[in-house]
């Protein structure tokens, strides 16, 4: 195993949350995230639903000077205008003693940290105007009170084409220009297929721990079918697929589920030419070679799994000692234990801080 390769592909950014960069698209995204983490400015994060925009925001926060302070998310589309305004700016209410009590909002609760506004284009115009004021002055006024400072970094995600939303009057033009100065696009899952086996392994292990059921192996054929599928719902759809497979445990049903929906060639990638830029002849040739590729990949994975299992056995499941024996980092070993579903006789090997993904 190559220690550097493992560490650059898998990065823990929170409890049960990892950023996986096993594809050129995600490595570029990771590089951009590192750049944006160094500049304390508002950031617009775009991408298809379920592509992992919130995970990218969390990554940027974890790399920034604000990492020691809170990170919070507010789903703008899930709250009414009044509730959203109270959630962000706070509110006042009548106390039991007849007095007035103030409840701080996220901009106060998250002081010096980061606030992620998910689907911010769902905000009403009144809330958008107040948000624009915060971006311009870093302060706001709560009802009947003095000015309150808002020392937070604001990131926002969007559901639709913002330029069109501005033209239709759904998004305040000034707010759009404030947020779109720096923009980061998260690529869809179909453009980072190399990560699908890692993500499936993560989802399966997380779900087995959550529901207390035994893990189910993922065959090479099923993994390859997942790699070829377009995943229009991105990571959310992938996790649902993993949950269904864990419950039903029927590979035939899982294969049929993938076949019953459009595959990569017809779901988006056809707009950019033939699959992976190959013509029909070269695609046929690749199909002829695919069993050999699967065999090599499977053999490599088995050898790696066996090496880790032996090291853990020799060290009596002392994971730090096993990591030194394997010449890899402790963090990489934890992830590999989860990926290969290695379990000690006493308990699950990966307690405490779990693993996550690009969600």
Instruction: Convert the pLDDT of each residue in 203-259 to its tens digit.
Output: 888 888 888 888 888 889 999 999 989 999 999 899 999 988 888 888 888 888 887
List, by residue range, all CATH 1.10.8.60 domains of the chain. 192-339
List, by residue range, all CATH 3.40.50.300 domains of the chain. 24-185
Q: Percent of the chain scored above 90 by pLDDT? A: 30
Quote the CA–CA distance of 9 and 310 in Å, as a whole number: 24
- Torsion region of 73: left, alpha or beta (phi above 0 gives left; psi -120 to 50 gives alpha): beta
What average pLDDT score do residues 183-201 get? 92
Residue 290 above 60 pLDDT?
A: no
What average pLDDT score do residues 32-61 get? 94
Give the list of residues 6+ apart from residue 114 with CB closer than 8 angstroms, or none: 57, 60, 61, 64, 66, 69, 70, 71, 72, 152, 153, 154, 155
Joined together, the tokens standing for residue 145 give 């009170």
Residue 78 above 70 pLDDT?
A: yes
Task: Name the pTM for this structure.
Answer: 0.68
What average pLDDT score do residues 39-55 get? 93
Give the list of residues 6+ apart from residue 259 with CB closer than 8 angstroms, or none: none
Smallest CA-to-CA distance from 85 within 142, 137, 28, 30 is with 142
Query: Band of the pLDDT at 113, cuts 50, 70, 90?
Result: very high
Find the farthest-apart pair of alpha carbons in the chain and give their distance in angstroms, rounded.
80
Quote the CA–CA distance of 105 and 147 in Å, as a whole number: 14
Query: What is the structure's pLDDT at 249?
Result: 83
Smallest CA-to-CA distance from 27 within 54, 49, 2, 59 is with 59
Return mean pLDDT, the chain. Answer: 78
Smallest CA-to-CA distance from 269 within 195, 191, 194, 187 is with 191
CATH architecture assigned to 24-185: 3-Layer(aba) Sandwich (3.40)
CATH code of the domain occupying 192-339: 1.10.8.60
Query: Band of the pLDDT at 260, cuts 50, 70, 90?
Result: low
Q: Percent of the chain scored above 70 by pLDDT? A: 77
Query: Band of the pLDDT at 16, cuts 50, 70, 90?
Result: confident
Provide the pairing of β-strand 100-103 with 91-94: antiparallel
Interval 142-173: pLDDT, tens: 766 677 888 999 999 987 778 888 888 888 99
Residue of 302 and 78 predicted with greater confidence: 78
Residue 293 above 50 pLDDT?
A: no
Query: What is the structure's pLDDT at 85?
Result: 87
Alpha-carbon Rg for the chain, nearest whole angstrom, is 23
Strands (E), the chain: 10-14, 17-20, 43-46, 71-75, 91-94, 100-103, 114-118, 139-141, 147-149, 153-157, 183-185
Query: Band of the pLDDT at 307, cuts 50, 70, 90?
Result: confident
């Amino acid at each position: 195993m190559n220690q550097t390769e493992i560490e650059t592909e898998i990065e823990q950014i929170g409890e049960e949350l990892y950023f996986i960069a096993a594809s050129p698209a995600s490595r570029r995204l990771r590089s951009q995230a590192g750049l944006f983490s160094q500049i304390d400015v508002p950031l617009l994060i775009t991408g298809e639903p379920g592509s992992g925009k919130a995970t990218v925001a969390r990554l940027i926060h974890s790399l920034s000077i604000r990492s020691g302070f809170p990170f919070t998310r507010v789903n703008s589309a899930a709250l009414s205008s009044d509730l959203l305004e109270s959630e962000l700016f706070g509110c006042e209410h009548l106390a039991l003693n007849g007095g007035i009590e103030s409840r701080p909002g996220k901009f106060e609760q998250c002081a010096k940290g980061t606030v992620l506004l998910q689907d911010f284009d769902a905000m009403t115009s009144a809330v958008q105007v107040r948000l624009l004021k915060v971006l311009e002055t870093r302060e706001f006024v709560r009802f009947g009170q003095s000015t309150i400072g808002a020392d937070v970094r604001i990131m926002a995600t969007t559901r639709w084409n913002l330029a069109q939303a501005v033209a239709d009057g759904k998004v305040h033009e000034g707010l759009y220009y404030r947020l779109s100065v720096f923009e980061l696009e998260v690529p869809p899952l179909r453009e980072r297929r190399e990560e699908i086996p890692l993500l499936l392994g993560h989802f399966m292990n997380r779900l087995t721990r959550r529901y207390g059921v035994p893990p189910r192996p993922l065959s090479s054929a099923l993994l390859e079918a997942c790699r070829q599928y377009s995943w229009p719902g991105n990571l959310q759809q992938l996790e649902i697929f993993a949950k269904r497979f864990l419950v039903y445990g029927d590979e035939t049903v899982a294969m049929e589920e993938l076949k019953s929906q459009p595959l990569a060639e017809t779901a988006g990638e056809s707009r950019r030419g033939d699959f992976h830029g190959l013509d029909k002849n070269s695609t046929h040739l690749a199909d002829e070679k695919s069993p050999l590729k699967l065999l090599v990949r499977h053999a490599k994975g088995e050898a790696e799994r066996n090496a880790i299992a032996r090291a853990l056995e020799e060290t009596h499941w002392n994971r730090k000692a096993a990591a030194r024996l394997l010449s890899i980092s402790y963090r990489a070993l934890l992830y590999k234990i989860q990926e290969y579903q290695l379990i000690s006789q006493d308990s699950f090997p990966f307690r405490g801080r779990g693993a996550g993904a690009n969600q």
